[in-house]
Amino acid sequence: QSMDLLLTGRRIQAEEALALGLVTRIVSPESLLDEAWLLANRLADLPVAPVAALKQLLRQGMDLDLPQALELESRVTARLST
């Protein structure tokens, strides 16, 4: 379905985006700003090192085969536990 959306530019409703896993939640327009602030604060409260490590794994891991990705994960995990 992602190919269909990319090639056709078809607009979808929030419920379909949720069903496809493109969004993680749906909020009303009235609560959007409050929900955005809650999420921003929750993310800002997370410890910096694990978040940076996760971002590194996601960025670099997509270009690696499985053994390389597992090696990267091991290195990053070891760095976090020291």
- CB-based contact 61:69 (threshold 8 Å): yes
Domain boundaries, the chain: 2-32, 48-80
**pLDDT tens digits, residue range 4-48?**
999 999 999 999 999 999 999 999 999 999 999 999 999 999 999
Over the stretch 44-77, which tens digit does the pLDDT of each residue have? 999 999 999 999 898 988 889 999 999 988 988 8
Query: Measured between alpha carbons, how far is residue 67 from residues 20, 58, 73 in Å?
Result: 29, 15, 10
Q: Residue 26, by phi and psi: left (phi above 0), alpha (psi -120 to 50) or beta?
A: beta
Name the band, by pLDDT with cuts 50, 70 and 90, for residue 1: confident
- Is a pLDDT exceeding 80 seen at residue 82? no
Looking at residue 80, its pLDDT comes to: 85
Question: Which pTM does this prediction carry?
Answer: 0.62
